[in-house]
Amino acid sequence: MAFHPKVINLIKCPYCGNDKDFIEIIDDVVTTTHYVQNTDGSFTIEEKSSQALGDVKFFCGDCEEDLTSFHQRFSEMIF
Ligand SMILES: [Zn+2]
């Protein structure tokens, strides 16, 4: 039986070919952090969430070309 490797569709910069380094820039972010105060007065982060209000831009980490059209796919691939 032939072995078929999984086809992985990598995001690749069409300008320089980079498929490793990427930069995401978010204009306005509201960060909500829930803290629990411990008995010694220190705080522990219980939950942190952030919501982007402004534009989200996506750039190649090498040549810094605008790759925002790939951002949707990028955000689905963050684990
Ligand atoms: Zn590039």
Q: Kindly give the distance from the C-alpha atom of residue 54 to the centroid of ligand 1, in angstroms, as a whole number.
A: 24
Torsion of CA 43, 31, 69, 15, to 10 degrees: -50
How confident is the model at residue 3, as a pLDDT? Answer: 64
Task: Tell me how far the alpha carbon of residue 21 lies from the centroid of ligand 1, in angstroms.
Answer: 9
Q: How far is the CA of 55 from the centre of ligand 1 (A)?
A: 21
pLDDT value of residue 13: 97
Can you give the pTM of this predicted structure? 0.66
Domain ranges within the chain, ordered by starting residue: 22-76
How confident is the model at residue 79, as a pLDDT?
85
Q: Residue 9's pLDDT is what?
A: 82
Q: Which residues surround ligand 1, an ion (CB under 5 A)?
A: 13, 15-16, 18, 60, 62-63
Series of mean pLDDT values for 10-residue runs along the chain (79 residues)? 70 96 93 96 95 92 96 90
Answer left, alpha or beta for residue 26, where phi above 0 means left and psi between -120 and 50 means alpha.
Answer: beta
